[in-house]
Structure formats: structure tokens, C-alpha cells
Amino acid sequence: MVITRGFTGRPRRGRPDRLPPGQYDAGEEWPVLTAEATPHLVPEKHTLTVDGAVEAPHTWSWRELHALPGSSYAGDIHCVTTWSKLDMTFSGVSLDQLWRRTRPRDGAAYLLAHSTTGYTTNLPLADVTGGRAWVVWAEGGRPLAPEHGGPLRLLVPHLYFWKSAKWVTRLELLTADRPGFWEQNGYHDRGDPWLEQRYQGDP
Amino acid sequence: MTDGPAAPVGRWTVGTLAEVDRLGDRLVRLRLEVEDRVDHWPGQHYVIRLRAEDGYTASRSYSVASDPGDPLLELMVECLPGGEVSAFLYDEARVGDRFELRGPIGGWFTWHGEATAVCIGGGTGVVPLVAMLRHARRHGLTDRLRVCAVGRTLDTLPYVRELLDAGAFVALTRENLATPLGVARVAAPPYLDEVAPLVEGAERAYVCGSVGFASYAVRLLQEAGMLTRSIRVEQFGATGQ
């Protein structure tokens, strides 16, 4: 540990109950980070498929997805690049609704989320069941903009935000873990912001 | 978004500032001696973590400007309004200061000569491209790398002289630019017919800059015929919403 000469930092307001270690409050800003070109998708043509280790694979049309019982998340999000954004309100459908229809098999333990761009991210199934994960199409009452993952993105707010795949179109259930895009490129497999699991090798 | 060989990953270490240069009123170039350095691939970044006496920390990621052959690690930091880390580095950093560093990080926005590539960078988005260019020059790979650098003015575009000397295409958006032939390029973003020759024969593209810049550059590359899946993007900054 090296103390930085002359560094005092910002006033310690708001910490530590809302901001995980090493994070700062981005305020009104909502930074955009993607590794690829932003696709401009037609919402009404967008579909979501759940397949892999499930009893009943299923594809929802945009309209069918909206016909499911809706659900929202009000709270904070945390990006591995150290910004956090507080008091967001996302609307969509809880993944529990999707599991209810597709019925994960006994051995299913992981999820690999796929975007239209080829982006992937892996998550333990336990992190995306029990009201902790959604697919969402709106934030703050407005449709999600393409650069923020519209028309549809995954939302797993208790993990770093790269896990909340933008432009999500397929949720593949797996019996064995398979690293996704950033996870193959040096980032942590789980990504819990409160444990600061940013990169491979972190606790 | 396909895989290649895994890029190098470094753990937390310490860097000692060996050289510091303030360039204009917003840019600071830091050159650091890094303990137990893991050589990076051009395009990768490092995290700098500042630590106050009470244990409070603030960390930010910065692209590396140096190539792996450089004995020092070079970062070019733009001082952002209210930037907790960037403003401290601009205002306070001096030779001999020691910083917690972590890197290299990132295995996607990298180039080490494996493909013929076109790169478009805006503002400090040119920094990782400078690392690629330096690597290309050191290893005689310059025919595999075409760089387009975009800035507002000559004085605010980092590394502009080095980029021009290396044959990069430079577009300034707020002032005219004298070309080697003595003809001025009128202030404007890069046009399709300026970028198209760089795209010809390129297997891959890299775009780095602000969100608005990145979306402009991606569209330009797509119009010039670059396959969307071959475009790698690194963007920074925010949208207002």
C-alpha cells in the first residue's frame, strides 16, 4: 500500500453504505462503454430465446415479452471502470418468469448471455434467480437508448455492470461454466462489486 | 467477437514517476518506472489508484501510449473538469512520486501486428493508437497499420507531431491544417473519401474516443465497407441522460 503524496480525495459523503470500495458517484452522467459497434435494432422485431439446459426452450417475441407480468428494479448500478450510478429505475421482466416457462434442468448451474453483436457474459444461475436479475427495456420510464443496450438488456445490478449484457437476445443455460467475452479478456468470472472482484485473480 | 491468444495481465504493483510533462492546459504526460512490469500489448490500459492517508482510494483507467519495447510506461492523461484523479495528476504529480498501478488490462482492444488494421482516434482516444504505431515502427510493421487521428486543434491533439511524422492522416475539426504539400485541409471531421483508402485491405478496425466520436467513426468505417464485426471500439465519457 502506497500513500499518494498530497492526495486527500473528495469529501467522504455518501460512503460507505451506497458505494462499493473504489467506486465513485457518477451523478447525472451515465457513461457508455462497449467493445463493439452499437447496433440499431428494431424493437418490435427483437426476440429473446432461452435454451440450453432447460426442459422447454422458448423464444419470446417483443410483444410476448411485454405480455409477461412486469417487474422493475429501483436502485444502484456499479461499473468495473469505477463509476456507480445511484437511484436508477429499470422496467422489464424478472428472469424468474422466463425460468418458470422454460424450467431449468437439474444440472443447470450457469447462464451464458448472448447479445446480437456476439458479446457474451457468464453468470452463476444462482445470481440470476430469486428476483435479482431482469431483462429490461426502459430506464426512468423511457425506452432504453441503443447505446445503453436498447431495445433489451440484461440487468444484474448486484454484480458489475458488464454482466448486464446489452442487446441481449439469448440466455443459454449451461451445466458447466464457460467464460464470456470480458471474462476471457482478463475480467473476473463473478464480479461482485462489494468484494471488488474486478479482474481475474481478484478474491 | 472472436478469441485470440490471451493478452498479458498484470497484478497490482508500484510505479515511480520518472518524467512528467504538462502539455497545454489539459494534458499531462506521465512516464513511470514500473516494478515487476508485465509487458503490455499495444492498446491495453493500466489503472492508477490514488490513496489518501485515511485509506480512501480513487482509481481510473488510462490507455498506455508507450510500446512494450519502451523501458518506461507512458500514460497521457487529460485533465477533466472535476476529475478526481486526472486533476490531481495534472496539478500535483511530480518526479519521484509513487503510485499504485495495475496492468496491463484488457484483451480486446489490442494490436501487436497480427492483422492489417485501420485505427481512428479522437482526442485522447489517439493514445492507444500511438502505442500501436510505436510498436509498428519498432518492428517494421508500419505497412500493417493505418491511423486516422482527429482533434479540434493542432495544439490540443495529443501526439499530433509524432502522428504526422509517422504518416498518420490527421483531421482537425476547428482549424485548418497545413498538409506536407502546403495545401490546407479545411477544418472538418474526416470524410468518407479520406477514410476509404485507409480501410481498403484492412482486416480489422479500431475506434477510440468519446461516445459521440466513436459512433461517428464506426458509421464512417461501415460506410467505407468495414465489416461491423471487425470493428473494435473503446469509448469513454458519458451521455447526458
Residue B111 lies in a domain: no
Domain end (from B79, B105, B131): B105
Which range has the worst mean pLDDT, A60-64, A91-95, B1-5, B9-13? B1-5
Do residues B86 and B121 both lie within one domain? no
CATH number at residue B223: 3.40.50.80
Walk me through the domains of chain A, giving residue ranges and CATH numbers. 40-195 (3.90.420.10)
Residues B39 and B137 occupy one common structural domain: no
Q: What's residue A13's pLDDT?
A: 66
Kindly tell me if the per-residue pLDDT of B220 is higher than 50.
yes
CA-based nearest distance B209→chain A, Å: 11
Report the CATH number that the domain containing residue B32 is assigned in CATH.
2.40.30.10
Treating both helix axes as pointing N-terminal to C-terminal, what angle do B211-223 and B192-199 enclose, rounded to 10 degrees? 70
Give the nearest partner residue to A10 out of B84, B97, B102, using CB atoms.
Answer: B84
Q: Could you report the per-residue pLDDT of B96-108, keeping only the tens digit for each? A: 999 999 999 998 9
Average pLDDT over residues B10-30: 96
Instruction: Show residues of chain B in contact with A36, CB under 8 Å.
Output: 1, 228-229, 231-233
Task: Decide if B5 is inside a domain.
Answer: no
Q: Could you tell me if residue B158 is inside a domain?
A: yes
Stated pTM of the model: 0.92
Task: Decide if B239 and A145 are in contact by the 8 Å CB cutoff.
Answer: yes
Identify which of A2, A9, A39 has the shortest CB distance to residue B56: A9
- In chain B, what residues touch A1 (CB-CB under 8 Å)? 51, 100
Cβ <8 Å between A12 and B56:
yes
- The most distant pair of C-alpha atoms in chain A lies apart, rounded to whole Å, by 60
B191 lies in a domain? Answer: yes
Q: Which of B82, B105, B128 is the last residue of a domain?
A: B105
Is some CB atom of chain B closer than 8 A to the CB atom of A118? yes
Q: Specify whether B128 is located in the same domain as B53.
A: no
Distance from the B126 Cα atom to the nearest Cα atom in chain A, whole angstroms = 16
Helices and strands in chain B, H and E counts: 5, 14
- For residues B83 and B29, membership in a common domain is answered with yes
Question: Are residues B132 and B95 part of one domain?
Answer: no
* Count of domains forming chain B: 2
Are B115 and B144 spatial neighbours (Cβ–Cβ below 8 Å)? yes
B77 and B158 belong to one structural domain: no
- pLDDT truncated to tens, each residue of chain A (203 aa)? 899 999 999 887 655 688 998 898 888 889 998 899 999 999 999 999 999 999 999 999 999 999 999 999 999 999 999 999 999 999 999 999 999 999 999 999 999 999 999 999 999 999 999 999 999 999 999 999 999 999 999 999 999 999 999 999 999 999 999 999 999 988 999 999 999 999 988 88
Residue B1 lies in a domain: no
CB pairs < 8 Å spanning A and B: 130
Same domain, B36 and B125: no
Cβ–Cβ gap B99/A2 under 8 Å:
yes
CB contact under 8 A, B57 and A181: no
Q: Are B206 and A7 in contact (CB under 8 A)?
A: no
What pLDDT is recorded for position B238?
59
Same domain, B99 and B180: no
Q: Same structural domain for residues B134 and B191? A: yes
DSSP chain A: --PPTT---S--TTTTTSSPTT-EE-TT-EE---SSPPP---GGG--EEEEESBSS-EEE-HHHHHHSPPEEEEEEEE-TTSEEEEEEEEEEEEHHHHHHHH-B-TT--EEEEEETTS-EEEEEGGGGSSSS-EEEEEETTEEPPGGGTTT-EEE-TTS-GGGS-TTEEEEEEESS----HHHHTTB-SS--GGGT--BTT--
Q: Do B230 and B128 share a structural domain?
A: yes
Q: What is the pLDDT of residue B6?
A: 84
Residue that wins the pLDDT comparison between A17 and B29: B29
pLDDT at position A14: 58
B89 and B144 within one domain: no
Candidates A10, A30, A36; nearest CB to B241: A30
Residue B112 lies in a domain: no
To test the contact with chain A by mutation, choose from B108, B208, B226 the residue with the greatest count of A C-beta atoms within 10 A, namely: B108
Nearest-by-Cβ selection for A7 from B52, B106, B222? B52
Q: Is the pLDDT of residue B239 over 80?
A: no
Q: B129 with B201, same domain?
A: yes
What DSSP state is assigned to residue B173?
Answer: S
Q: Which domain holds residue B79?
A: 12-105
A186 touches chain B (CB under 8 A): yes
Contact at CB, A185 and B240, closer than 8 angstroms: no
Contact A10 B57 (CB under 8 A): no
Give the pLDDT band (50/70/90) at residue B3: low
**Interchain CB distance below 8 Å, A36 and B233:** yes
Indicate the residue among B105, B139, B172 that finishes a domain.
B105
CA distance B42 to B51: 27
- Residue B3 forms part of a structural domain: no
Domain presence at residue B141: yes
Give residue-wise pLDDT tens across range B51-93: 999 988 999 999 999 999 999 999 999 998 888 999 999 999 9
